[in-house]
Structure 1
Protein backbone atom coordinates (compact mmCIF):
# COMPACT_ATOMS: atom_id res chain seq x y z
CA UNK A 1 0.00 0.00 0.00
CA UNK A 2 2.86 2.33 0.82
CA UNK A 3 4.41 1.60 -2.56
CA UNK A 4 1.10 2.37 -4.28
CA UNK A 5 0.76 5.58 -2.30
CA UNK A 6 4.28 6.68 -3.18
CA UNK A 7 3.68 5.81 -6.83
CA UNK A 8 0.45 7.85 -6.89
CA UNK A 9 2.19 10.80 -5.24
CA UNK A 10 5.04 10.72 -7.77
CA UNK A 11 2.53 10.47 -10.64
CA UNK A 12 0.55 13.45 -9.37
CA UNK A 13 3.70 15.52 -8.93
CA UNK A 14 4.98 14.53 -12.38
CA UNK A 15 1.64 15.39 -13.96
CA UNK A 16 1.69 18.72 -12.20
CA UNK A 17 5.16 19.47 -13.53
CA UNK A 18 4.11 18.50 -17.05
CA UNK A 19 0.98 20.67 -16.91
CA UNK A 20 2.96 23.46 -15.38
CA UNK A 21 5.52 23.24 -18.17
CA UNK A 22 2.81 23.14 -20.82
CA UNK A 23 1.09 26.20 -19.46
CA UNK A 24 4.20 28.29 -18.78
CA UNK A 25 5.88 27.87 -22.14
CA UNK A 26 3.00 29.19 -24.28
CA UNK A 27 2.43 32.01 -21.79
CA UNK A 28 6.06 33.03 -22.14
CA UNK A 29 5.96 32.75 -25.94
CA UNK A 30 2.66 34.63 -26.11
CA UNK A 31 4.12 37.43 -24.06
CA UNK A 32 7.15 37.69 -26.32
CA UNK A 33 4.86 37.79 -29.37
CA UNK A 34 2.71 40.46 -27.76
CA UNK A 35 5.75 42.53 -26.90
CA UNK A 36 7.06 42.23 -30.45
CA UNK A 37 3.67 43.16 -31.86
CA UNK A 38 3.38 46.12 -29.52
CA UNK A 39 6.86 47.32 -30.46
CA UNK A 40 6.18 47.19 -34.22
CA UNK A 41 2.81 48.92 -33.88
CA UNK A 42 4.34 52.30 -33.07
CA UNK A 43 4.51 54.45 -36.20
CA UNK A 44 6.08 57.88 -36.68
CA UNK A 45 4.84 60.12 -39.49
CA UNK A 46 6.76 63.21 -40.57
CA UNK A 47 5.02 66.12 -42.31
CA UNK A 48 5.09 69.86 -42.95
CA UNK A 49 2.56 72.40 -41.69
CA UNK A 50 0.79 72.98 -45.00
CA UNK A 51 -2.98 72.69 -45.19
CA UNK A 52 -2.69 69.85 -47.70
CA UNK A 53 -0.26 67.83 -45.58
CA UNK A 54 -2.13 68.43 -42.34
CA UNK A 55 -5.17 66.91 -44.06
CA UNK A 56 -3.41 63.89 -45.57
CA UNK A 57 -1.31 63.03 -42.52
CA UNK A 58 -4.31 63.17 -40.18
CA UNK A 59 -6.28 60.89 -42.50
CA UNK A 60 -3.41 58.39 -42.58
CA UNK A 61 -3.08 58.57 -38.79
CA UNK A 62 -6.80 57.89 -38.35
CA UNK A 63 -6.71 54.85 -40.63
CA UNK A 64 -3.62 53.39 -38.99
CA UNK A 65 -5.04 53.83 -35.50
CA UNK A 66 -8.72 52.99 -36.04
CA UNK A 67 -8.41 50.30 -38.72
CA UNK A 68 -5.03 48.68 -38.08
CA UNK A 69 -4.42 49.29 -34.38
CA UNK A 70 -1.16 51.24 -34.63
CA UNK A 71 -0.05 53.92 -32.22
CA UNK A 72 0.85 56.93 -34.38
CA UNK A 73 3.13 59.84 -33.56
CA UNK A 74 2.87 62.83 -35.93
CA UNK A 75 6.02 64.97 -36.17
CA UNK A 76 5.49 68.42 -37.69
CA UNK A 77 8.81 69.66 -39.11
CA UNK A 78 10.25 71.78 -41.90
CA UNK A 79 10.71 70.17 -45.35
CA UNK A 80 14.43 69.48 -44.87
CA UNK A 81 13.85 67.75 -41.54
CA UNK A 82 10.98 65.76 -43.06
CA UNK A 83 13.26 64.15 -45.64
CA UNK A 84 16.09 63.70 -43.16
CA UNK A 85 13.85 62.00 -40.60
CA UNK A 86 12.68 59.33 -43.07
CA UNK A 87 16.16 58.85 -44.52
CA UNK A 88 17.65 58.40 -41.06
CA UNK A 89 14.87 56.10 -39.84
CA UNK A 90 13.67 58.51 -37.17
CA UNK A 91 10.33 58.54 -39.01
CA UNK A 92 8.73 55.56 -40.70
CA UNK A 93 7.11 57.51 -43.50
CA UNK A 94 5.81 60.74 -44.95
CA UNK A 95 2.93 61.20 -47.38
CA UNK A 96 3.98 64.81 -48.08
CA UNK A 97 6.73 64.69 -50.73
CA UNK A 98 5.98 67.19 -53.52
CA UNK A 99 7.80 65.96 -56.63
CA UNK A 100 9.39 66.12 -59.12
CA UNK A 101 9.95 69.90 -58.97
CA UNK A 102 9.00 71.47 -55.64
CA UNK A 103 11.22 69.34 -53.40
CA UNK A 104 13.63 68.09 -56.05
CA UNK A 105 16.79 69.20 -54.24
CA UNK A 106 15.74 67.54 -50.98
CA UNK A 107 14.80 64.32 -52.73
CA UNK A 108 18.05 64.14 -54.67
CA UNK A 109 19.97 64.60 -51.43
CA UNK A 110 18.24 61.78 -49.56
CA UNK A 111 16.84 59.41 -52.21
CA UNK A 112 19.47 56.69 -51.68
CA UNK A 113 18.54 56.40 -48.01
CA UNK A 114 14.77 56.06 -48.37
CA UNK A 115 12.21 54.29 -50.55
CA UNK A 116 9.75 56.13 -52.79
CA UNK A 117 6.45 54.27 -53.15
CA UNK A 118 5.18 56.64 -55.81
CA UNK A 119 2.28 59.09 -55.86
CA UNK A 120 -0.51 59.14 -53.32
CA UNK A 121 -2.09 62.10 -55.16
CA UNK A 122 -1.60 63.38 -58.72
CA UNK A 123 -2.39 66.61 -60.53
CA UNK A 124 -0.81 69.10 -58.16
CA UNK A 125 0.28 72.53 -59.41
CA UNK A 126 2.51 75.24 -57.94
CA UNK A 127 3.08 78.83 -59.00
CA UNK A 128 2.37 82.47 -58.28
CA UNK A 129 -1.28 83.21 -57.56
CA UNK A 130 -3.36 86.39 -57.60
CA UNK A 131 -7.06 87.15 -57.15
CA UNK A 132 -8.98 87.12 -60.43
CA UNK A 133 -9.78 90.82 -60.07
CA UNK A 134 -6.05 91.57 -60.51
CA UNK A 135 -5.86 92.47 -64.20
CA UNK A 136 -2.53 90.90 -65.08
CA UNK A 137 -2.06 87.36 -66.35
CA UNK A 138 1.67 86.64 -66.46
CA UNK A 139 4.67 86.68 -64.15
CA UNK A 140 6.22 88.95 -66.73
CA UNK A 141 3.67 91.64 -65.80
CA UNK A 142 4.68 91.86 -62.13
CA UNK A 143 7.47 94.41 -62.39
CA UNK A 144 5.41 97.13 -64.04
CA UNK A 145 2.81 96.71 -61.28
CA UNK A 146 5.14 96.18 -58.32
CA UNK A 147 3.81 99.20 -56.41
CA UNK A 148 0.30 97.75 -56.47
CA UNK A 149 1.74 94.66 -54.77
CA UNK A 150 3.67 96.78 -52.23
CA UNK A 151 6.83 95.32 -53.74
CA UNK A 152 6.19 91.91 -52.16
CA UNK A 153 5.44 88.31 -53.06
CA UNK A 154 3.90 86.73 -49.96
CA UNK A 155 5.41 83.29 -49.43
CA UNK A 156 5.36 80.50 -46.85
CA UNK A 157 8.09 78.89 -44.72
CA UNK A 158 11.61 79.62 -45.94
CA UNK A 159 12.62 75.96 -46.34
CA UNK A 160 9.73 75.08 -48.66
CA UNK A 161 10.53 74.00 -52.21
CA UNK A 162 8.13 76.53 -53.69
CA UNK A 163 10.14 79.29 -52.02
CA UNK A 164 13.36 78.07 -53.64
CA UNK A 165 11.60 77.86 -56.99
CA UNK A 166 10.25 81.40 -56.53
CA UNK A 167 13.78 82.65 -55.85
CA UNK A 168 14.73 81.18 -59.22
CA UNK A 169 11.69 82.81 -60.84
CA UNK A 170 12.68 86.19 -59.39
CA UNK A 171 16.12 85.80 -60.92
CA UNK A 172 15.04 84.44 -64.31
CA UNK A 173 12.29 87.02 -64.79
CA UNK A 174 14.36 89.84 -63.29
CA UNK A 175 11.61 90.65 -60.79
CA UNK A 176 12.04 93.69 -58.59
CA UNK A 177 9.87 92.24 -55.82
CA UNK A 178 10.82 90.89 -52.41
CA UNK A 179 9.87 87.30 -51.50
CA UNK A 180 8.47 87.50 -47.99
CA UNK A 181 8.75 84.35 -45.86
CA UNK A 182 5.88 83.50 -43.51
CA UNK A 183 3.82 80.32 -43.21
CA UNK A 184 0.84 78.71 -44.90
CA UNK A 185 -1.47 80.24 -42.28
CA UNK A 186 0.14 83.68 -42.45
CA UNK A 187 0.08 83.67 -46.25
CA UNK A 188 -3.62 82.84 -46.41
CA UNK A 189 -4.38 85.41 -43.70
CA UNK A 190 -2.66 88.08 -45.82
CA UNK A 191 -4.61 86.89 -48.87
CA UNK A 192 -7.87 87.08 -46.93
CA UNK A 193 -7.24 90.67 -45.81
CA UNK A 194 -6.29 91.82 -49.31
CA UNK A 195 -9.21 89.98 -50.92
CA UNK A 196 -11.78 91.54 -48.59
CA UNK A 197 -10.42 95.00 -49.46
CA UNK A 198 -10.10 94.29 -53.19
CA UNK A 199 -6.35 94.95 -52.92
CA UNK A 200 -3.68 93.52 -55.18
CA UNK A 201 -1.63 90.67 -53.75
CA UNK A 202 0.54 87.91 -55.20
CA UNK A 203 1.24 84.76 -53.18
CA UNK A 204 3.01 81.44 -53.58
CA UNK A 205 0.23 78.97 -54.26
CA UNK A 206 -0.40 75.31 -54.92
CA UNK A 207 -3.24 72.99 -55.77
CA UNK A 208 -4.92 71.29 -54.01
CA UNK A 209 -5.54 74.03 -51.42
CA UNK A 210 -8.75 75.20 -49.77
CA UNK A 211 -8.08 78.83 -50.76
CA UNK A 212 -9.12 78.06 -54.36
CA UNK A 213 -12.56 77.04 -53.11
CA UNK A 214 -12.95 80.09 -50.89
CA UNK A 215 -11.60 82.80 -53.23
CA UNK A 216 -11.66 83.43 -56.98
CA UNK A 217 -7.98 83.03 -57.80
CA UNK A 218 -5.78 82.37 -60.81
CA UNK A 219 -2.23 81.25 -61.48
CA UNK A 220 -0.04 83.73 -63.31
CA UNK A 221 1.24 82.35 -66.59
CA UNK A 222 4.82 81.11 -66.43
CA UNK A 223 6.28 81.43 -69.97
CA UNK A 224 9.74 80.33 -68.86
CA UNK A 225 8.39 77.17 -67.22
CA UNK A 226 10.13 77.82 -63.91
CA UNK A 227 7.42 76.16 -61.85
CA UNK A 228 7.28 73.10 -64.07
CA UNK A 229 4.30 71.06 -65.17
CA UNK A 230 1.72 69.31 -63.02
CA UNK A 231 3.28 67.52 -60.07
CA UNK A 232 2.40 64.76 -57.63
CA UNK A 233 2.63 64.08 -53.93
CA UNK A 234 4.64 60.92 -53.19
CA UNK A 235 4.82 58.58 -50.23
CA UNK A 236 8.32 58.01 -48.86
CA UNK A 237 9.17 55.29 -46.34
CA UNK A 238 12.31 54.37 -44.47
CA UNK A 239 14.58 51.62 -45.73
CA UNK A 240 13.71 48.23 -44.26
CA UNK A 241 10.05 48.98 -43.52
CA UNK A 242 8.83 46.25 -45.87
CA UNK A 243 10.80 43.60 -43.97
CA UNK A 244 10.01 45.03 -40.52
CA UNK A 245 6.26 45.45 -41.02
CA UNK A 246 4.71 44.18 -44.28
CA UNK A 247 1.21 45.26 -43.21
CA UNK A 248 2.26 48.85 -42.64
CA UNK A 249 4.33 48.90 -45.83
CA UNK A 250 1.40 47.53 -47.85
CA UNK A 251 -0.92 50.25 -46.58
CA UNK A 252 1.50 53.02 -47.54
CA UNK A 253 1.99 51.37 -50.92
CA UNK A 254 -1.78 51.32 -51.57
CA UNK A 255 -2.71 54.74 -50.15
CA UNK A 256 -3.93 56.90 -53.04
CA UNK A 257 -6.64 59.55 -53.18
CA UNK A 258 -7.91 62.36 -55.39
CA UNK A 259 -7.42 66.14 -55.06
CA UNK A 260 -11.16 66.41 -54.34
CA UNK A 261 -10.71 64.09 -51.33
CA UNK A 262 -7.93 66.23 -49.90
CA UNK A 263 -9.79 69.46 -50.61
CA UNK A 264 -12.82 68.16 -48.73
CA UNK A 265 -10.78 67.54 -45.58
CA UNK A 266 -8.98 70.87 -45.93
CA UNK A 267 -12.30 72.65 -46.36
CA UNK A 268 -13.75 71.17 -43.18
CA UNK A 269 -10.66 72.20 -41.22
CA UNK A 270 -10.75 75.71 -42.67
CA UNK A 271 -14.42 76.00 -41.70
CA UNK A 272 -13.44 75.41 -38.08
CA UNK A 273 -13.57 71.64 -37.63
CA UNK A 274 -10.74 70.12 -35.57
CA UNK A 275 -8.23 68.44 -37.89
CA UNK A 276 -8.61 65.10 -36.12
CA UNK A 277 -12.39 65.23 -36.37
CA UNK A 278 -12.20 66.22 -40.05
CA UNK A 279 -10.00 63.19 -40.76
CA UNK A 280 -12.35 60.87 -38.87
CA UNK A 281 -15.34 62.26 -40.76
CA UNK A 282 -13.66 61.61 -44.10
CA UNK A 283 -12.66 58.09 -43.06
CA UNK A 284 -16.22 57.31 -41.94
CA UNK A 285 -17.62 58.53 -45.26
CA UNK A 286 -15.14 56.62 -47.43
CA UNK A 287 -15.17 53.10 -45.99
CA UNK A 288 -15.12 51.35 -49.38
CA UNK A 289 -12.09 53.26 -50.60
CA UNK A 290 -10.21 52.53 -47.37
CA UNK A 291 -11.22 48.87 -47.45
CA UNK A 292 -9.59 48.58 -50.88
CA UNK A 293 -6.36 50.11 -49.57
CA UNK A 294 -6.25 47.67 -46.67
CA UNK A 295 -7.19 44.52 -48.60
CA UNK A 296 -4.91 44.98 -51.62
CA UNK A 297 -1.73 42.95 -51.72
Structure 2
Protein backbone atom coordinates (compact mmCIF):
# COMPACT_ATOMS: atom_id res chain seq x y z
CA UNK A 1 0.00 0.00 0.00
CA UNK A 2 1.18 3.56 -0.67
CA UNK A 3 0.76 6.55 1.68
CA UNK A 4 -0.27 10.04 0.57
CA UNK A 5 0.11 13.37 2.38
CA UNK A 6 -3.40 13.49 3.84
CA UNK A 7 -2.79 10.25 5.68
CA UNK A 8 -4.94 8.16 3.38
CA UNK A 9 -3.81 5.14 1.46
CA UNK A 10 -3.95 4.27 -2.21
CA UNK A 11 -5.46 0.97 -3.20
CA UNK A 12 -3.52 -1.48 -5.29
CA UNK A 13 -5.71 -0.57 -8.27
CA UNK A 14 -4.90 3.12 -7.84
CA UNK A 15 -1.18 2.41 -7.57
CA UNK A 16 -1.39 0.28 -10.69
CA UNK A 17 -3.19 3.05 -12.54
CA UNK A 18 -0.53 5.59 -11.56
CA UNK A 19 2.17 3.23 -12.82
CA UNK A 20 0.58 2.87 -16.25
CA UNK A 21 -0.17 6.59 -16.70
CA UNK A 22 3.25 7.42 -18.29
CA UNK A 23 2.98 4.55 -20.74
CA UNK A 24 -0.65 5.36 -21.48
CA UNK A 25 0.18 9.02 -22.10
CA UNK A 26 3.01 7.99 -24.44
CA UNK A 27 0.67 5.64 -26.33
CA UNK A 28 -1.99 8.33 -26.75
CA UNK A 29 0.49 11.02 -27.86
CA UNK A 30 2.66 8.91 -30.17
CA UNK A 31 0.29 6.26 -31.54
CA UNK A 32 -3.41 6.81 -30.87
CA UNK A 33 -3.65 10.54 -31.64
CA UNK A 34 -1.71 10.38 -34.96
CA UNK A 35 -3.78 7.38 -36.00
CA UNK A 36 -7.10 9.09 -35.26
CA UNK A 37 -5.84 12.27 -36.89
CA UNK A 38 -4.95 10.30 -40.04
CA UNK A 39 -8.45 8.81 -40.14
CA UNK A 40 -9.98 12.28 -39.83
CA UNK A 41 -7.64 13.59 -42.53
CA UNK A 42 -8.82 10.87 -44.90
CA UNK A 43 -12.23 12.57 -44.98
CA UNK A 44 -10.76 15.91 -46.11
CA UNK A 45 -9.05 17.36 -49.18
CA UNK A 46 -6.01 18.42 -47.13
CA UNK A 47 -2.91 19.23 -49.17
CA UNK A 48 0.61 20.34 -48.33
CA UNK A 49 0.27 23.03 -51.02
CA UNK A 50 -2.63 24.90 -49.40
CA UNK A 51 -3.17 25.97 -45.78
CA UNK A 52 -6.93 25.44 -45.79
CA UNK A 53 -8.98 22.31 -46.39
CA UNK A 54 -12.56 21.10 -46.12
CA UNK A 55 -14.36 17.89 -45.27
CA UNK A 56 -15.35 15.92 -48.37
CA UNK A 57 -16.76 12.77 -46.77
CA UNK A 58 -16.05 9.48 -48.54
CA UNK A 59 -14.85 11.11 -51.76
CA UNK A 60 -11.21 10.09 -51.18
CA UNK A 61 -12.22 6.48 -50.56
CA UNK A 62 -14.30 6.43 -53.74
CA UNK A 63 -11.38 7.80 -55.76
CA UNK A 64 -8.84 5.41 -54.27
CA UNK A 65 -10.98 2.27 -54.56
CA UNK A 66 -12.06 3.10 -58.13
CA UNK A 67 -8.51 3.83 -59.27
CA UNK A 68 -7.19 0.89 -61.33
CA UNK A 69 -3.67 1.64 -60.08
CA UNK A 70 -4.78 0.96 -56.52
CA UNK A 71 -5.81 -2.59 -57.40
CA UNK A 72 -2.42 -3.12 -59.00
CA UNK A 73 -0.75 -1.71 -55.89
CA UNK A 74 -2.66 -4.14 -53.66
CA UNK A 75 -1.70 -7.05 -55.93
CA UNK A 76 1.95 -5.98 -55.90
CA UNK A 77 1.81 -5.73 -52.12
CA UNK A 78 0.35 -9.24 -51.85
CA UNK A 79 3.04 -10.69 -54.12
CA UNK A 80 5.79 -8.87 -52.25
CA UNK A 81 4.48 -9.88 -48.82
CA UNK A 82 3.98 -13.54 -49.72
CA UNK A 83 7.28 -13.84 -51.59
CA UNK A 84 9.25 -11.99 -48.93
CA UNK A 85 7.73 -14.17 -46.21
CA UNK A 86 7.56 -17.66 -47.70
CA UNK A 87 11.03 -17.78 -49.28
CA UNK A 88 13.07 -16.62 -46.25
CA UNK A 89 10.78 -18.65 -43.97
CA UNK A 90 11.45 -21.89 -45.81
CA UNK A 91 15.17 -21.18 -46.18
CA UNK A 92 15.35 -20.08 -42.54
CA UNK A 93 13.68 -23.32 -41.44
CA UNK A 94 16.11 -25.41 -43.48
CA UNK A 95 19.11 -23.51 -42.12
CA UNK A 96 17.76 -23.73 -38.57
CA UNK A 97 17.45 -27.51 -38.91
CA UNK A 98 21.04 -27.70 -40.15
CA UNK A 99 22.38 -25.57 -37.29
CA UNK A 100 20.30 -27.51 -34.77
CA UNK A 101 22.37 -30.62 -35.45
CA UNK A 102 25.02 -29.29 -33.08
CA UNK A 103 28.03 -30.09 -35.26
CA UNK A 104 31.39 -28.43 -34.74
CA UNK A 105 31.29 -24.86 -36.03
CA UNK A 106 27.50 -24.52 -35.77
CA UNK A 107 27.79 -21.64 -33.31
CA UNK A 108 30.18 -19.81 -35.62
CA UNK A 109 27.87 -20.26 -38.61
CA UNK A 110 24.96 -19.02 -36.56
CA UNK A 111 26.85 -15.86 -35.68
CA UNK A 112 27.90 -15.30 -39.29
CA UNK A 113 24.32 -15.76 -40.45
CA UNK A 114 23.08 -13.10 -38.06
CA UNK A 115 25.47 -10.45 -39.43
CA UNK A 116 23.28 -9.28 -42.31
CA UNK A 117 20.29 -9.11 -39.93
CA UNK A 118 21.88 -6.18 -38.12
CA UNK A 119 22.89 -4.36 -41.31
CA UNK A 120 20.59 -1.33 -41.94
CA UNK A 121 17.97 -1.87 -44.62
CA UNK A 122 19.19 1.12 -46.65
CA UNK A 123 22.70 -0.35 -46.80
CA UNK A 124 21.27 -3.68 -47.93
CA UNK A 125 19.24 -1.86 -50.58
CA UNK A 126 22.34 -0.16 -51.98
CA UNK A 127 24.22 -3.47 -51.91
CA UNK A 128 21.61 -5.32 -53.95
CA UNK A 129 21.11 -2.37 -56.27
CA UNK A 130 24.79 -2.70 -57.11
CA UNK A 131 24.47 -6.48 -57.59
CA UNK A 132 21.50 -6.10 -59.97
CA UNK A 133 22.85 -3.07 -61.83
CA UNK A 134 22.36 -3.51 -65.56
CA UNK A 135 25.73 -2.01 -66.58
CA UNK A 136 28.29 -2.98 -63.98
CA UNK A 137 26.41 -5.29 -61.62
CA UNK A 138 28.04 -8.41 -60.22
CA UNK A 139 25.20 -10.65 -61.39
CA UNK A 140 25.52 -9.61 -65.03
CA UNK A 141 29.30 -9.91 -64.88
CA UNK A 142 29.01 -13.45 -63.54
CA UNK A 143 26.40 -14.49 -66.12
CA UNK A 144 28.50 -13.02 -68.94
CA UNK A 145 31.61 -14.79 -67.63
CA UNK A 146 29.94 -18.22 -67.79
CA UNK A 147 28.38 -17.47 -71.18
CA UNK A 148 24.69 -17.37 -70.22
CA UNK A 149 24.13 -13.82 -71.50
CA UNK A 150 25.87 -11.58 -74.04
CA UNK A 151 24.58 -8.19 -72.91
CA UNK A 152 23.76 -6.83 -69.46
CA UNK A 153 20.18 -7.25 -68.29
CA UNK A 154 18.57 -4.25 -66.54
CA UNK A 155 17.16 -6.33 -63.71
CA UNK A 156 15.79 -3.34 -61.80
CA UNK A 157 14.80 -1.45 -64.94
CA UNK A 158 12.22 -3.82 -66.36
CA UNK A 159 8.79 -4.61 -64.94
CA UNK A 160 9.16 -8.38 -65.29
CA UNK A 161 12.13 -8.70 -62.95
CA UNK A 162 12.19 -5.64 -60.64
CA UNK A 163 9.82 -7.05 -58.03
CA UNK A 164 11.61 -10.41 -58.04
CA UNK A 165 14.90 -8.63 -57.35
CA UNK A 166 13.38 -6.77 -54.40
CA UNK A 167 11.98 -10.05 -53.01
CA UNK A 168 15.42 -11.68 -53.33
CA UNK A 169 17.02 -8.80 -51.44
CA UNK A 170 14.37 -8.96 -48.73
CA UNK A 171 14.83 -12.73 -48.48
CA UNK A 172 18.56 -12.28 -47.92
CA UNK A 173 17.86 -9.64 -45.29
CA UNK A 174 15.26 -11.60 -43.31
CA UNK A 175 16.57 -15.17 -43.51
CA UNK A 176 18.63 -14.78 -40.27
CA UNK A 177 15.56 -13.45 -38.44
CA UNK A 178 13.50 -16.51 -39.30
CA UNK A 179 16.44 -18.80 -38.60
CA UNK A 180 16.94 -17.38 -35.10
CA UNK A 181 13.31 -17.75 -34.01
CA UNK A 182 12.71 -21.10 -35.70
CA UNK A 183 15.92 -22.45 -34.20
CA UNK A 184 14.56 -21.54 -30.79
CA UNK A 185 11.41 -23.48 -31.60
CA UNK A 186 13.40 -26.50 -32.78
CA UNK A 187 15.41 -26.58 -29.58
CA UNK A 188 12.20 -26.93 -27.58
CA UNK A 189 11.19 -30.14 -29.39
CA UNK A 190 11.56 -33.20 -27.08
CA UNK A 191 14.42 -35.35 -28.33
CA UNK A 192 13.07 -38.56 -26.79
CA UNK A 193 10.15 -38.58 -29.22
CA UNK A 194 12.47 -38.20 -32.20
CA UNK A 195 14.74 -40.99 -30.92
CA UNK A 196 11.74 -43.26 -30.38
CA UNK A 197 10.51 -42.58 -33.93
CA UNK A 198 13.94 -43.35 -35.37
CA UNK A 199 13.99 -46.65 -33.48
CA UNK A 200 10.64 -47.46 -35.13
CA UNK A 201 12.23 -46.82 -38.52
CA UNK A 202 11.05 -43.28 -39.26
CA UNK A 203 13.25 -41.27 -41.63
CA UNK A 204 14.13 -37.58 -41.36
CA UNK A 205 11.14 -36.47 -43.43
CA UNK A 206 8.66 -38.41 -41.31
CA UNK A 207 10.26 -37.12 -38.10
CA UNK A 208 9.94 -33.56 -39.33
CA UNK A 209 6.30 -33.74 -40.41
CA UNK A 210 4.99 -36.02 -37.66
CA UNK A 211 7.00 -34.90 -34.62
CA UNK A 212 9.07 -31.74 -35.07
CA UNK A 213 6.57 -29.54 -36.92
CA UNK A 214 3.56 -30.41 -34.69
CA UNK A 215 5.67 -29.81 -31.57
CA UNK A 216 6.65 -26.30 -32.71
CA UNK A 217 3.37 -25.54 -34.51
CA UNK A 218 2.46 -22.47 -32.47
CA UNK A 219 5.96 -21.00 -32.71
CA UNK A 220 6.06 -21.63 -36.47
CA UNK A 221 2.68 -19.94 -36.98
CA UNK A 222 3.56 -16.94 -34.81
CA UNK A 223 6.87 -16.40 -36.62
CA UNK A 224 5.13 -16.65 -40.00
CA UNK A 225 2.44 -14.15 -38.96
CA UNK A 226 5.04 -11.72 -37.62
CA UNK A 227 6.85 -12.00 -40.94
CA UNK A 228 3.67 -11.22 -42.87
CA UNK A 229 2.95 -8.18 -40.69
CA UNK A 230 6.52 -6.91 -40.98
CA UNK A 231 6.59 -7.24 -44.76
CA UNK A 232 3.16 -5.66 -45.12
CA UNK A 233 4.50 -2.46 -43.58
CA UNK A 234 8.03 -2.66 -45.00
CA UNK A 235 9.28 0.40 -46.85
CA UNK A 236 13.02 1.13 -46.82
CA UNK A 237 14.40 -1.74 -48.95
CA UNK A 238 12.08 -1.47 -52.01
CA UNK A 239 12.23 2.32 -51.84
CA UNK A 240 16.03 2.35 -51.77
CA UNK A 241 16.30 -0.09 -54.66
CA UNK A 242 13.64 1.09 -57.12
CA UNK A 243 11.38 3.71 -55.46
CA UNK A 244 8.27 1.91 -56.64
CA UNK A 245 9.32 1.68 -60.28
CA UNK A 246 9.62 0.90 -63.06
CA UNK A 247 6.06 1.76 -64.13
CA UNK A 248 4.78 1.11 -60.56
CA UNK A 249 5.93 -2.52 -60.77
CA UNK A 250 7.24 -2.45 -57.20
CA UNK A 251 4.82 0.08 -55.68
CA UNK A 252 3.46 -1.39 -52.45
CA UNK A 253 0.98 0.24 -50.08
CA UNK A 254 3.78 1.73 -47.98
CA UNK A 255 5.36 3.36 -51.02
CA UNK A 256 1.95 4.49 -52.28
CA UNK A 257 1.29 6.34 -49.02
CA UNK A 258 4.69 8.03 -49.15
CA UNK A 259 4.53 9.12 -52.79
CA UNK A 260 0.93 10.34 -52.49
CA UNK A 261 1.78 12.44 -49.44
CA UNK A 262 5.22 13.81 -50.32
CA UNK A 263 5.29 13.76 -54.12
CA UNK A 264 1.66 14.49 -54.96
CA UNK A 265 1.25 16.56 -51.75
CA UNK A 266 -2.22 15.06 -51.29
CA UNK A 267 -2.41 14.35 -47.56
CA UNK A 268 -6.11 13.48 -47.64
CA UNK A 269 -5.67 10.76 -50.23
CA UNK A 270 -2.49 9.52 -48.55
CA UNK A 271 -4.36 9.22 -45.26
CA UNK A 272 -7.09 7.27 -47.06
CA UNK A 273 -4.61 4.75 -48.45
CA UNK A 274 -2.97 4.59 -45.04
CA UNK A 275 -6.28 3.88 -43.33
CA UNK A 276 -7.04 1.02 -45.73
CA UNK A 277 -3.51 -0.23 -45.18
CA UNK A 278 -4.01 -0.08 -41.39
CA UNK A 279 -7.25 -2.09 -41.66
CA UNK A 280 -5.42 -4.85 -43.56
CA UNK A 281 -2.65 -4.81 -40.96
CA UNK A 282 -5.22 -5.02 -38.19
CA UNK A 283 -6.69 -8.20 -39.68
CA UNK A 284 -3.30 -9.93 -39.57
CA UNK A 285 -2.63 -8.54 -36.10
CA UNK A 286 -5.89 -10.02 -34.78
CA UNK A 287 -4.93 -13.42 -36.16
CA UNK A 288 -1.50 -13.10 -34.57
CA UNK A 289 -2.95 -12.15 -31.18
CA UNK A 290 -5.34 -15.10 -31.27
CA UNK A 291 -2.49 -17.48 -32.07
CA UNK A 292 -0.39 -15.98 -29.29
CA UNK A 293 -3.23 -16.41 -26.81
CA UNK A 294 -3.68 -20.03 -27.88
CA UNK A 295 0.03 -20.63 -27.31
CA UNK A 296 -0.17 -19.12 -23.82
Shorter-normalised TM range: under 0.3
Which is strand-richer, 1 or 2? Answer: 1
Select the structure that is richer in helix.
Answer: 2
Q: TM-score, normalised by structure 2?
A: 0.27
TM-score normalised by length of structure 1: 0.27
